[in-house]
Chains A and B, each alone.
Chain A
Amino acid sequence: MEKNNLSIKRKDGSFLARIFSVQEAGILVPLILLIVIFSCLNSGFYSLPNIFSVLKTLAFYGIVAVGMTLLIIGGDIDISVGSTAGFAAVFSTFIMMQFNCFGMLDTPNEWIGVFICMIITLGICSLVGILNAFLIVDFKLPAFIATIATLYVVRGAIMVVTNGNPIYPLPKFFMDDIGRFQIPITKVGEELIGISLPIIVFIVLVIVFEIVLRRTKFGRNVYATGSNIEVAKLAGINTRRVRYINFIITAMLAALSGMLVAAFTRQGYPPIGQGWEMQIIAAAAVGGIAMTGGSGSMIGTLLGVLIMNIVNNGLVMMNIDTFVQQAVQGVIILVAVYVDIVRRNRKVHV
């Protein structure tokens, strides 16, 4: 067997080796290191409540990151996801309360109304994805221009609708059954610790999309489109459809996450989503997703999201200023992307 640094080594039969490629294994190392370092610096770090709390927070980003990963592999990017999440949070709760869940508020059938509102929101937010795709794919605008514009437009729309005021209170089903849903694991003191809904959704999404990427023709088409769009087109792949789908999925997942945050925080809070794009791009970069498209995987994103949030959490526990954290995230992006670039350009043994 030829030794080839850049190819994915797969030994048939080894389960772990099937899931993690060499590149992704390389990310596991810093992850484990970080966990160890932070546990040492901080006794509270390794406690169960902390772990599950970190997991829940990261799941919100993770859900959006799944969509973003798909998009970046396909050769595009969308920095308006945070605005979309915020919009979904505000819009869904707005119509929930405005129409009293279509008359079902505070009734046993409340859940129907809630779900209808959520589905409507998903639909509306997919329009944001369509708009982005329209500007970038059809009008060929540079992705960052189009999505910066969308970012501001949607953010502005949120403000216009709410005037900065959060939407509160919300239907009980939404707040309690969705927001507080968890599969209980154990009890620590008086607190019930469990796997909450966002975590479940995140993990399911990662698995589903990893399968899509690796095993379906759509997944292959995404890699092809991101790798060399001209060749993909000439081979008959409908790259326009691929890219549109990616943008729509990204917007819908952002919407889903925004709504889950609203459920969890028990209000439709307008600033939801601000700054998310940074976290998510950082997670993708750390997770080995090439910003130029054509390579990467969901597992990588999973690891990247883990790392970013562990860093955040660790810094918080060390009482480091939130704002310094923001700066640290910026630095992490630069380092991660640079490392990725170096790795890609590394001299290879032939």
Chain B
Amino acid sequence: MAQFVLEARNITKDFPGVRALNNVTLSVEKGEILGLIGENGAGKSTILKIINGIYKTGTFEGKIFINGLEVVLHSPHDALIKGIGFVPQEINVMEDLTVAENIFVGHLTEEKTSFAKQSQIIKRAAEFLKENKINLNSKTRVKMLSIGQKQLLMIARALSWDPHILILDEPTTALALDDVDNLFEIVLQLKQNGKSIIFVTHKLEEITRLTDRVTILRDGTNIATYPREEYNEGRIVTDMVGRTITSMYPSRSVKIGEELLRVEGLTVAHPKIKNKNLIENVSFSLKKGEVLGLAGLVGAGRTETLSTLFGQYPLTAGKIIIEGRQINIKSESDAIKHGLCLVTEDRKANGLLMLANIKHNIVVTNLKKILNGFFISRKKENEVANNYMSKLSIKAPGTQTMVVNLSGGNQQKVVISKSLNTDPKILLLDEPTKGIDVGSKNEIYNLINILAGMGISIIMVSSELPELLAMCDRFIILAHGTTVGELEKSEATQETVMVKCFA
């Protein structure tokens, strides 16, 4: 077994009431990039947490071997010292410190001397970054970095421990396209330097493009591992889901009506940076019953455009015109009043009231609906909640179930229910299927089609281009905070869209 740089053998992990991993074996050869793919709940994050020491040895069955030797992991830091580097999905950095200080945090504990001069730290960091071809300035205060750069910083931080193996958990989620290319270069470079990598993703294109082998997990079991030569997208998806998905994206009959919304020259000043605009001169229109896709690289201003429409930023310039009348949207409640509703990207931070149950969550967006005079009518409340429970097939014992206990897909359905409860004319969807298993994704696509069929207009932002291309009738492309192009469904392909994104 000496050829494996890392092997997690026969791992079984139980939580109260559920077996998260069942006899899973994961092995990584030296100098290879292993892809790890699976739906939510498949056990990906559990096995990762075991490998990188968050679930320490003793809390699971099975053994971990590094370069053929069995290891015991007491903590994430322990795993780090033993050569397992981990870059988590969420950006987590020290904003007030410099890049150099962020990279070196924790290293000083290992060194003999108590003293650490500031200038030395900066110099060493600069050398390190240069060696690893990471394009960051070691003196910059991390607060000033973009999301992509912060992620590079987290990778640099993990690399600074010179690990045998680096685990990247969904690393491209927040990256702009040139950052993604940059990341892939770095990953390939690491492979050349003899490092091994576990690359966790749910995007098939990344598996095909980057990895040497892929391991697929489903329901806590290791389903299959394929070498590169045997890659077959259809079979991988089937393995992930356990059933053949004949049409990933359901079709619909399109009934598009008159122009409903028009924005002209939307410009919003950047709240934190002087003389810079968050979005500039964004213009487009939206018709009734249409599904409009906002395409663009990360940082192009798509989320910002949706947020602006929803009243989260004050307009520096531009007009918003709904049904022919110019309106002023100064707050979220204004936007809702005018028939707009936003489903945000991050449901845990921004989508759900975690202390509340399904019923309370859904009704909070439209309390007027359930009032009887001054007071809330329990009957009306239950009617509204049950209505959405069944319409969206939310799987739960009842509407009084606490939302913390729901799976990711069902949680997203509650978030969408909340928005639908405002009886919107225009639904703004920001990455509606992010982090959701394939089965639930399908249900959400069907839902989008149904809503569009009912005459609700939808503006959709998605980083998964295939998803966007399949679901939308028309595309607006943003770049550098402004609108640069428009494509009809017939003209839009991955290439034509991407070309405009780089305008």
Contact residues on B (Cβ < 8 Å of other chain), bracket: 35 or more
- CB contacts (< 8 Å) of A350 on chain B: these are 144, 273, 276
Instruction: Report if B140 contacts A (CB, 8 A).
Output: yes
- CB contacts (< 8 Å) of B111 on chain A: these are 217
Question: B94 to A228, Cβ gap below 8 A?
Answer: yes
Cross-chain contact of B94 among A214, A227, A348, A349 (Cβ < 8 A): A227
Question: Which of A3-11, A89-97, A334-342 lies on the face that meets chain B?
Answer: A3-11
Q: A7-B141, A215-B116, A227-B94 are in contact. Are A349 and B274 (CB under 8 A)?
A: yes
Question: B115 to A231, Cβ gap below 8 A?
Answer: no
Report how far A333 CA is from B274 CA in the complex, Å. Answer: 28
- CB contacts (< 8 Å) of B117 on chain A: these are 215
Question: B118 to A232, Cβ gap below 8 A?
Answer: no
In the assembled complex, how far is the CB of residue A294 from the closest CB belonging to chain B, in whole angstroms? 4
Q: A6-B141, A6-B143, A231-B92 are in contact. Are A348 and B274 (CB under 8 A)?
A: yes
Question: B119 to A4, Cβ gap below 8 A?
Answer: no
In the assembled complex, how far is the CB of residue A136 from the closest CB belonging to chain B, in whole angstroms? 21
Question: B106 to A236, Cβ gap below 8 A?
Answer: yes
* Chain B 74-118 residues near chain A, CB threshold 8 A: 76-77, 80-81, 92-98, 101-102, 104-109, 111, 114-118
Instruction: Report if B139 contacts A (CB, 8 A).
Output: yes
Report how far A7 CA is from B101 CA in the complex, Å. Answer: 12
Instruction: Report if B270 contacts A (CB, 8 A).
Output: yes
Report how far A4 CA is from B122 CA in the complex, Å. Answer: 16
In the assembled complex, how far is the CB of residue A221 from the closest CB belonging to chain B, in whole angstroms? 7
- CB contacts (< 8 Å) of B139 on chain A: these are 2, 4, 7
In the assembled complex, how far is the CB of residue B314 from the closest CB belonging to chain A, in whole angstroms? 14
Instruction: Report if A295 contacts B (CB, 8 A).
Output: yes
Instruction: Report if B243 contacts A (CB, 8 A).
Output: no
0/1 string, A211-242, CB within 8 A of B gives 1: 00011111011011001101111111100000
Question: A237 to B114, Cβ gap below 8 A?
Answer: no
Question: A232 to B106, Cβ gap below 8 A?
Answer: yes
Q: A223-B97, A232-B106 are in contact. Are A215 and B271 (CB under 8 A)?
A: no
Question: B109 to A348, Cβ gap below 8 A?
Answer: no
Report how far A103 CA is from B248 CA in the complex, Å. Answer: 90
Question: B144 to A217, Cβ gap below 8 A?
Answer: no
In the assembled complex, how far is the CB of residue B54 from the closest CB belonging to chain A, in whole angstroms? 9
Cross-chain contact of A294 among B97, B107, B140, B270 (Cβ < 8 A): B97
- CB contacts (< 8 Å) of B141 on chain A: these are 4, 6-7
Cross-chain contact of B109 among A2, A221, A347 (Cβ < 8 A): A221
Instruction: Report if B272 contacts A (CB, 8 A).
Output: yes
Cross-chain contact of B272 among A216, A232, A234, A345 (Cβ < 8 A): A345
Question: B98 to A7, Cβ gap below 8 A?
Answer: yes
- CB contacts (< 8 Å) of B157 on chain A: these are 235
Instruction: Report if A138 contacts B (CB, 8 A).
Output: no
Cross-chain contact of A235 among B105, B115, B119 (Cβ < 8 A): B105
Instruction: Report if A321 contacts B (CB, 8 A).
Output: no
Instruction: Report if A191 contacts B (CB, 8 A).
Output: no
* CB-based nearest A residue for B78: A236
Question: A231 to B116, Cβ gap below 8 A?
Answer: no
0/1 string, B135-153, CB within 8 A of A gives 1: 0010111011000000000
* Chain B 145-194 residues near chain A, CB threshold 8 A: 157
- CB contacts (< 8 Å) of A233 on chain B: these are 76
Report how far A166 CA is from B311 CA in the complex, Å. Answer: 62
Question: B144 to A348, Cβ gap below 8 A?
Answer: yes
Question: B114 to A224, Cβ gap below 8 A?
Answer: no
In the assembled complex, how far is the CB of residue B76 from the closest CB belonging to chain A, in whole angstroms? 5
Question: B96 to A294, Cβ gap below 8 A?
Answer: yes
- CB contacts (< 8 Å) of A7 on chain B: these are 98, 139-141
- CB contacts (< 8 Å) of A295 on chain B: these are 96
* CB-based nearest A residue for B81: A236
Report how far A294 CA is from B93 CA in the complex, Å. Answer: 12
Question: B98 to A221, Cβ gap below 8 A?
Answer: no
Cross-chain contact of B140 among A4, A223, A345 (Cβ < 8 A): A4
Report how far A82 CA is from B185 CA in the complex, Å. Answer: 58
Instruction: Report if A190 contacts B (CB, 8 A).
Output: no
* CB-based nearest A residue for B271: A347
Q: A216-B116, A236-B106 are in contact. List 15 more A-B contacts (CB 8 A).
A: A4-B140, A7-B98, A7-B141, A215-B116, A216-B114, A220-B116, A221-B108, A221-B109, A227-B97, A231-B93, A234-B77, A237-B109, A347-B271, A348-B274, A350-B144
26 cross-chain CB contacts under 8 A: A2-B137, A6-B141, A7-B141, A217-B109, A217-B114, A217-B115, A220-B108, A223-B96, A227-B96, A228-B92, A228-B93, A228-B95, A232-B105, A233-B76, A234-B76, A236-B109, A294-B96, A294-B97, A295-B96, A347-B270, A347-B271, A347-B273, A347-B274, A348-B272, A349-B274, A349-B275
Footprint of A on B, CB under 8 Å? 76-77, 80-81, 92-98, 101-102, 104-109, 111, 114-119, 137, 139-141, 143-144, 157, 270-276
CB-based closest 7 A-B pairs: A235-B106, A236-B77, A217-B108, A227-B94, A347-B274, A236-B106, A228-B94
